[in-house]
Structure 1
Amino acid sequence: MRVNNLKKDFKDVEALKGISFEFEAPSFVGVIGHNGSGKTTMLEILMGIQTATSGTVDYSNEFELKDMKENIGVILQSNAFYSNMKVIELLRLFKSYYKDTFEINYLMDKLKITDYQNKYYDKLSGGMKQKVNLALAFINKPKVVFLDEPTTGLDPRARHDFWTVLKELCNDTLLFLSSHYMEEVQKYCDKIVYLKDGELLYAGALDKFFEQQESKDLSEIYLRISGGKDDGDVD
């Protein structure tokens, strides 16, 4: 994926101020920055939900832009599904949207959600919902995956289980994952995109970022650079 000079304005707010980077699969890209830094705005442009004010996103090395919906998987910060749908019904619905998919039984077994297939989605625990969300995001065998703060609110056990399954599902995949947990970004991601106030501070290999910062502690670096800033009009 190649992103060139991506900008996004909301009336008087510059949410993104000329973001550029390039990544190839397989890569786990952690997207970090304070609330209001532009993380969600950038991800939603990359996944086609929002339109950039200017700049380009090029997927040509992986697939044509017109085929984007067939080739990406997404978990948003909040998912709104039909409240009266069971897990198995959601999986069948999403499977019907795509030409090439995983078998539902394979995903349920991989994610250990078979026993919950006849439960209503909105009655599940947070950790179980995220497992179902992963199944829905990967059902079409995506080449690029976007996960917007998927582990927020999960307990340590659920976060560990989430990452364990995610690593199993991501074969030759380009993954973008935003998170406020610096320790999990450092543990699981090999690349980062670091935003501050809509500007790109760094995009590239995490080990090179550590060399630049003369530290191997992402939490310490983040606190030093971002300080106490944790709010903003646009995320």
Structure 2
Amino acid sequence: MNEAQAQEIVRAVGLTKRFGETVALDDVSFVVEGPGLCAVLGPNGAGKTTLLDILEGLAEPTRGAYRLFGKEPRPYPRKRVGVVMQKEAQIERVTAREYAELFSSIYGVRGGPERILSRARLEHRAATAVTRLSGGEAARLFIATAVVHDPTLVFLDEPTAHLDPENKRIVGEMLRELAEERTLLMTTHDLREADALADRLLFLVGGRVRASGTKDELVRAVPEAERRGLGVEDAFFHFCAIEIREGQAIGREEAT
């Protein structure tokens, strides 16, 4: 990412979300600049999906606020935002081309179906039902569909969670290409994937931000004694107060 051209894309200030007595997000504040790919890292139950739901305009925070492109999102800037949810709708018997046609018409994009199928590398699978695509093919289709209208910001909720290593690599190449011209905010619990793809990092554990910044900044901040040469993984364990003992990840308070 060219730092001289970086612009503020997302700003969260004190975001808190409660579900009854459960606190899913606790005073979450951060800034994401773009273009580039920001990985939101945390274990299952960290609050990653809840955070995206709020930033996508699908849920209201209990407290706090956020800004997109320097403004309050009222009305929500749908034309500038793309979304890939953790579980995308897969309508029975709808082909890849029909799926592409549907979302192209929703966004009003001429030539959209061809653009989607080409970007997803699925021209040869256009007549195949979406439910019969492989995991990697479906992931590429959903991502290509989410950017058919050329959004400035794209939210992706664990887009490679169930893919094998080769398909993760292919989708990763697609994401890096997209991140050259827009901002991607992607949740994941795969530390090594984040190391390979991300420009910026946000560590979210137990609904709280443990650290945020550029990947290089956070990796350099790890004390020499804690480094194992694993980059983002080292940074995550350091900032989230986690250590490795006998091959197991444990909280530092448990290690004393």
What is the TM-score of this pair, normalised by structure 1? 0.89
> Which one of the candidate residues 180, 185, 193 is aligned to 2:194?
185
What SS does structure 2 have at the residue aligned with 1:97?
helix
Query: Displacement, 1:31?
Result: 0.4
What SS does structure 2 have at the residue aligned with 1:115?
helix
Could you tell me which residue of structure 2 aligns to residue 71 of structure 1? Answer: 80
Amino acid at match of 1:211: R
Could you tell me which residue of structure 2 aligns to residue 219 of structure 1? Answer: 233
Write the mapping of 1:141-156 to structure 2, written as runs, cut at 5 A.
Answer: 141-156=150-165
Cα distance 1:125–1:193, how it changes in 2: closer, same or farther (>3 A)? same
Deviations 1:144-167 (A, max 9, x none): 111111111211111111011222
Cα pair 2:101 2:112 within 8 Å, conserved? no
Query: Displacement, 1:180?
Result: 1.6
Query: Displacement, 1:198?
Result: 0.8
In structure 2, stretches of 5+ residues that fail to align are 1-9, 244-248, 251-256
> Which one of the candidate residues 53, 56, 68 is aligned to 1:47?
56
Deviations 1:8-41 (A, max 9, x none): 0010011111111112220210100111111111
Task: Flag the structure with more relative contact order, 1 or 2, with Cα contacts below 8 A and sequence separation at least 6.
Answer: 1
Query: Displacement, 1:124?
Result: 1.0
Cα distance 1:101–1:7, how it changes in 2: closer, same or farther (>3 A)? farther
Could you tell me which residue of structure 1 aligns to residue 130 of structure 2? Answer: 121
2 CA distance for matches of 1:101 and 1:212? Answer: 47
Q: Tell me if 1:161 matches 2:170.
A: yes
Write the mapping of 1:1-235 to structure 2, written as runs, cut at 5 A.
Answer: 1-61=10-70, 65-100=74-109, 103-214=112-223, 215=227, 217-223=231-237, 225-226=241-242, 228=249
Report how many residues are paired: 229
Query: Displacement, 1:100?
Result: 5.0
Query: Displacement, 1:48?
Result: 1.2
The structure whose Rg is larger is 2
Query: What is the identity percentage for the equivalent residue pairs of Structure 1 and Structure 2?
Result: 27
Could you tell me which residue of structure 2 aligns to residue 233 of structure 1? Answer: none
In structure 1, stretches of 5+ residues that fail to align are 230-235
Query: Displacement, 1:169?
Result: 2.7
Cα distance 1:101–1:180, how it changes in 2: closer, same or farther (>3 A)? farther
Amino acid at match of 2:93: N
Query: Displacement, 1:81?
Result: 2.7
Amino acid at match of 1:197: G
Instruction: Compare the two structures and name the one with the higher strand fraction.
Output: 2
Query: Displacement, 1:80?
Result: 1.9
What SS does structure 2 have at the residue aligned with 1:58?
strand
Shifted more, 163-172 versus 153-162: the winner is 163-172
2 CA distance for matches of 1:171 and 1:186? Answer: 17
2 CA distance for matches of 1:139 and 1:99? Answer: 10
What is the TM-score of this pair, normalised by structure 2? 0.82
